[in-house]
Amino acid sequence: MRNSLVILFAGLVLMTFEGCLVGHSISYEIVADKSGEGVARVTYTNIRSDATNAQQLEEDKNHLFNYMLKSGQFLSDMNKEGKEIVSRNLMVSDGMLNGQGVYRFDKISSIENLTRDDGFYFITLALDDSVLTTNGEIIKSGSYKRILWVDNTDTLKFRILTEPTDNAPLKEMAQYYAK
């Protein structure tokens, strides 16, 4: 099964028409108050395209560089999801294109269905999701895995592997990025 990028810049969908933007990992740093409001910083590493033809690659480049990075429409779309984008940027490091976004939210659940209940924050993931790092505790059951934090944790942190597993050829996006 193709593991495509689901989130960039702040839990933002990168899927395009037929090609997809994919990457290595996504990390979150979330600061929330007891009311559920707060700020999230999302970092996505090694953004690439799995496009199989020139048209799909152009669609991916347009989606990433024009829509997500520059457009007011993207800001409006994210605002409708409860994410007020504070900053968004791309940077090249060691030949890889990375993205980072910061957004404000009114409900903690707008971040990948993160939940606060009974003195804890938690996020529920599929068993096959690979959590690379976290400052929370990982708990596994027969049908899911959760990252759990006590609700007085200052900053909730986690990093998840998003690397595709089908070994499809990928095109580095760094070569197309012009500041």
- DSSP calls for 28-92: EEEEE-TTS-EEEEEEEES-EE--SSHHHHHHHHIIIIIIIHH-HHHHHHHHHTTEEEEEEEEEE
Per residue in 77-105, pLDDT tens?
Answer: 999 999 999 999 999 999 999 999 999 99
pTM comes to 0.84
Surface-to-core class of residue 117, CB atoms within 10 Å of its CB (0-12 exposed, 13-18 middle, 19+ buried): exposed
Distance CA 37, CA 101 (A): 17
48-49 sheet: strands from edge to edge? 21-22, 48-49, 171-172
User: Domain-by-domain residue ranges, the chain?
Assistant: 21-107+153-176
Q: Given phi > 0 = left and psi -120 to 50 = alpha, else beta, which region is 118?
A: left
Query: In Å, what is the CA distance from 13 to each residue of 33, 43, 108, 114, 162?
Result: 25, 13, 18, 17, 13
> What pLDDT sits at residue 24?
94
Distance CA 166, CA 179 (A): 31
- State the chain's mean pLDDT as an integer: 88
Strand partners, 69: none
Strand partners, 26: 44, 160
> What pLDDT sits at residue 3?
29
Per residue in 134-164, pLDDT tens?
Answer: 999 999 999 999 999 999 999 999 999 998 7
Q: How many CA atoms lie within 13 A of 166 on its CB side?
A: 9
